[in-house]
Structure 1
Amino acid sequence: MRGLWGTGVLSAPPGREVRLAPPVPGRLSLLRVSEGDRVRAGDVLAQVDTGPAIAELQQAEAALREATSALEAAQEKRSRTLFLVERGVAARQDAEQDQSAEAAARAAEVRARSALELARRGVGRTSLQAPFDGVVTTVWVRQGEMVDGSTPAVVQISATDPLELRVFVTQSQAASVAPGQRARLFVDGLAGVHEGEVAAVAPSVDSQSGNVLVRLRFANPSGDLRLGAAARAHIVLEDLGPALSVPSSALLPLGDGGVGVARVEEGRVHTVPVRVASEDEGRAIIAGPLTVGESVVVEGGYSLPDDAGVEVVR
């Protein structure tokens, strides 16, 4: 497989790492999580003292009851005045004044309802809930401390499935990279290879490095991949069919300008041409007439004539 190598640190995708802080000030009366805890969307993570918010709610409820009573009284008074006007007992001016009073009472009742709704929302804003499934990566405030507008956040939540590896490639290499291309992830200390794909290629060049950012995305349903872990990835630009990895020292220059390897067959050396897909940190990905399990000379093969006898040492 012809491709590119890149290194980086595993992180959550854009928009899947958030800092949470309560929109209302108060004392943090409850903190249910700590760093490393896994949470589900909707879980209550922390709670600000609800006393002030509940007091405001109770005041708003009382104000609405008063406004409703005042509106009912104004409606009854207007009805009585209209009855008297129809019988010539009261002046029409009195009826018009009562209608104005009723309208004012109705507006006051609407304002009271709005204030009650805001108070109810205020009680709801005293709790912090996880916006998505993830893990708690940081807790800044301890239970019992005060939080207000100057507090940047209480907790940070990061999604862990999928994870992304951000790597930089040169501008010429970026021309061959496109979203959807396969990528393979290698993490130190973690066995196996994780398959993923190119999620996005930056439309602009990084002003500091002069390179282009490529975001690689890898599924992580089991949580084997850890946030912040250093990793290497191989972006597959072209599938060459069967490809093998050999030490770079096994590559031999050929007379036609190509490269080959010294394959060992029945104790004899035969140089075979290969195509190098990529090379990184002393290893080369090659394609050619080789199969898994065949032996090649990894050191000093350039000094052996074709058909020379060798002994395979494993």
Structure 2
Amino acid sequence: MNYETKIKSEVADGVPADIAQADEERTSGKGRKWLIVGAIIFGLLLAIAAYFALAGGEPAAVGDDNDQAPVVTVIAPGTTTINGIIEAPGTIAARRELPVGVVGEGGRVVSVPVDAGDWVREGQVLVVIDRSVQSQQAAAQAAQIEVAKADASLAQANLDRALQLVERGFVSKADVDRLTATRDSAEARVKVAQAQLAELRARAARLSVLAPASGYVLERNVEPGQTVGGGSPALFRIARGGEMEMLAQLGETQLASLSQGVVASVIPTGTEKAFEGQVWQLSPVINPQSRQGTARIALSYAPELRPGGFATARINSGTLTATVLPESAVLSDESGSFVYVVGEDNTATRRDVTTGMVTANGIAIIDGLSGDELVVLRAGGFLNPGETIKPRREAA
């Protein structure tokens, strides 16, 4: 009885139970698909709304093609006069660096009275070298001078006596000539001995290393007890007068736009303090590998200016007239920098440009624009060349 009832229920209305269950599963699957499709359409609508928001306009109502064109903010930049500034990296160095070494035969260092960071005057003693041997040699030579003087005095006395006797006929003219030559030789030996003593004293004086000019000591490479000589490396490096400079590296085009005497501002790395200087020399040659030259900027001494340190120079290069655009209007790709200008029939046209310096108001365009064009201000990255737009002008 129960088995028959189950069979009847399965074939009720002519539809088996398993087939009815499959229909229900297919119905629920179609519902999920419609939900997914709806989510995709909603996402597309959000993307379109974001596109028009970034383009500075609103979604266009459904209609003809012009009504569907995006509204894009444009600007007529015109031209303006800006102060030319060239920024260049470089290093700090002493303007006139003096390497100081041993000029004599050298010896053992007795004392070093100065250190790096000291100021020295011209002729000041930097290093004292042991001169005990030279002192004894000078003393011996001084004694030789006394011996030569004694010989010269004796020769002069003999000559004087001979001159008194020659009138009486006791001494011949030949003897007088011989005594005169002896006296002259003795006097010459005195002069030779005196010259040798002066040489010894000069050699001893050269054992003291002296400052060749007044300046600021940058390096000290010698210590007491060290043995130094004529072939030793420089014992000191001195910045003459404490004057510094910056060696700014510039491209050949930038170098050609500068002249000696222009004002520059130098900011050492690690500080925001600027130091004023002037370009005093421009490199007469260009490095064939880097295509760069050097502009030497003279600077006064300051503790923050340390030779060997990096710095950035801002060099005035005069004034120029150019178009200045906000950074949002200037795009770039593998072909270079470009902007979109509004062409005929309100189409977006690509225009290649050459950019210059970056100012507080934007990027200077030195080639490619006259300033009278309508330039897309924003959303240029979403446009394609030839695309129809609705320009909305904004004040420059």
TM range (shorter): 0.7 to 0.9
Cα 1:87/1:36, change in 2 over 3 Å: same
Aligned to 1:24: 105
> Once the two structures are aligned, what percentage of the paired residues are identical?
25
Aligned to 1:235: 315
User: Does the alignment pair 1:5 with 2:73?
Assistant: no
Cα 1:79/1:165, change in 2 over 3 Å: same
Within a 5 Å distance, the mapping from 1:1-314 to structure 2 comes to: 1-14=83-96, 16-159=97-240, 161-220=242-301, 222-239=302-319, 250=327, 252=329, 279=357, 283-284=358-359, 302-303=378-379
Cα 1:78/1:306, change in 2 over 3 Å: farther
Note if contact 1:21-1:155 (Cα within 8 Å) is conserved in structure 2: no
Distance 2:130 2:124 in 1: 18
Distance 2:393 2:246 in 1: 44
Aligned partner letter, 2:123 = G
SS at match of 1:302: coil
Cα 1:206/1:97, change in 2 over 3 Å: farther
Distance 2:288 2:161 in 1: 79
TM-score normalised by L of structure 1: 0.73
Aligned partner letter, 1:12 = A
Note if contact 2:84-2:319 (Cα within 8 Å) is conserved in structure 1: yes
Aligned partner letter, 2:359 = A
- In the comparison of the two structures, how many residue pairs are matched? 269
Note if contact 1:19-1:153 (Cα within 8 Å) is conserved in structure 2: yes
Cα 1:278/1:231, change in 2 over 3 Å: farther
Note if contact 1:2-1:278 (Cα within 8 Å) is conserved in structure 2: no
**Could you give the per-residue CA deviations for residues 65-97 of structure 1, whole angstroms, max 9, x where no partner exists?**
222222222222222212211221101111111
114-123 or 145-154: bigger deviation? 145-154
Note if contact 1:277-1:286 (Cα within 8 Å) is conserved in structure 2: no
Shift in Å at residue 185 of structure 1? 0.7
Cα 1:209/1:19, change in 2 over 3 Å: farther
SS at match of 2:378: helix
Aligned partner letter, 2:174 = Q
Shift in Å at residue 159 of structure 1? 3.8
Aligned partner letter, 1:4 = I
Distance 1:134 1:37 in 2: 9
Distance 1:89 1:201 in 2: 86
SS at match of 2:99: strand
Distance 1:28 1:303 in 2: 74
Distance 2:228 2:287 in 1: 38
**Could you give the per-residue CA deviations for residues 79-122 of structure 1, whole angstroms, max 9, x where no partner exists?**
22122112211011111111211221222122112112112212
Aligned partner letter, 2:378 = Y
Note if contact 2:101-2:232 (Cα within 8 Å) is conserved in structure 1: no
Cα 1:8/1:177, change in 2 over 3 Å: same
Aligned partner letter, 1:189 = G
SS at match of 2:87: strand
Cα 1:251/1:117, change in 2 over 3 Å: farther
TM-score normalised by L of structure 2: 0.59
Cα 1:287/1:198, change in 2 over 3 Å: farther
Distance 2:181 2:279 in 1: 67
Note if contact 2:216-2:242 (Cα within 8 Å) is conserved in structure 1: no
Shift in Å at residue 286 of structure 1? 6.1
Aligned partner letter, 1:95 = V
**Could you give the per-residue CA deviations for residues 151-198 of structure 1, whole angstroms, max 9, x where no partner exists?**
223333234732111123233332222221211111123333211111
Shift in Å at residue 5 of structure 1? 2.3
Cα 1:38/1:111, change in 2 over 3 Å: same
Note if contact 1:46-1:129 (Cα within 8 Å) is conserved in structure 2: yes
Shift in Å at residue 230 of structure 1? 0.7
Structure 2: segments with no counterpart, 5+ residues: 1-82, 331-336, 340-353, 364-375, 381-391
Shift in Å at residue 277 of structure 1? 10
**Bigger CA radius of gyration:** 2
Shift in Å at residue 22 of structure 1? 4.6
SS at match of 2:189: helix
